[in-house]
Chains A and B, each alone.
Chain A
Amino acid sequence: MIEVHYFARYREALQCESERVEWQESFAQLNDLRAYLISRGGVWAEVLGERNLMCARNEELCMPDEPLVDGDQVAFFPTVTGG
């Protein structure tokens, strides 16, 4: 199981704060999970297909090619704008 969180504009566009995604052997990298979510089509493809998408694995900023393991927590969000 992967716990996936969405923030800010993504959370609103997807109308989803977080969800649990059944673990799949094909999820070698965070990118594979992203591709699975994009395959839902519509707003999922639009939002998660964004070029400037940022992501985190287990509350640490990472690149989309970060390796994934069952039980990880993942977050997708737009460019951060704090400060």
Chain B
Amino acid sequence: MSIRVQAETFDPGAETGAMHAANVGVGAVVTFIGYVRDFNDGLDVSGLYLEHFPGMTEKSLAKIAQEAASRWPLLKTNIIHRVGRLEPGEPIVFVGTASAHRQAAFEACAFIMDYLKTKAPFWKKEDTPEGSRWVEGKSSDAIAAERWK
């Protein structure tokens, strides 16, 4: 299990490759990569600031990864989340899950993202032509997380 919270960008290709390196028991790797869009809620977005709760952030991501490992037979879990200033097109988040078979990897990856979206202490602030604004939480994210209960 690897958890990283960092300001620096990451290479999604290299991270994906590392998911099965040194473990030939891995038969399936599923990855999710979230990117900064240049448009949200009717306004152009020229950049993003990601605030987090240092200390709690890593703990909450580790807890989510552990919960996934207790539900599915995972061989590797990798979560990377950026913080600080980000530009449109940059990757924000990487979640990789590796398992012997695809079903566990698919489900665990979706589970981790749904829980990360609703439980990990990150907040986005967008720069728009009308000034900067905090992104509001979506009820669709809460509903998505509910399905794993």
**Whole-angstrom distance from the CB of A58 to the nearest CB of chain B?**
9
- Give how many A residues have a beta carbon under 8 Å from the other chain's beta carbons: 17
| CB-based A-B contact count at 8 angstroms | 74
Interface size class of B (residues with CB under 8 A): 20 to 34
Q: Are B53 and A82 in contact (CB under 8 A)?
A: no
Q: Are A59 and B137 in contact (CB under 8 A)?
A: no
Q: Are A83 and B113 in contact (CB under 8 A)?
A: yes
Secondary structure of the B side of the interface? mixed
Q: Which of B56, B93, B116, B137 contacts A60 (CB 8 A)?
A: B56
In the complex with contacts A9-B123, A9-B134, A82-B56 CB distance below 8 A: no
Q: Inside 8 A of A77's CB, which chain B residues have their CB? A: 53, 121, 123
Q: Which of A52, A56, A60, A82 has the largest count of B CB atoms less than 10 A from its CB? A: A82
Q: Are A80 and B119 in contact (CB under 8 A)?
A: yes
In the complex with contacts A78-B137, A83-B116, A59-B55 CB distance below 8 A: yes
Q: Are A59 and B117 in contact (CB under 8 A)?
A: no
Q: Are A83 and B92 in contact (CB under 8 A)?
A: yes
**Whole-angstrom distance from the CB of A5 to the nearest CB of chain B?**
7
Interface residues of A (CB under 8 A from B): 5, 7-9, 52, 56, 59-61, 75, 77-83
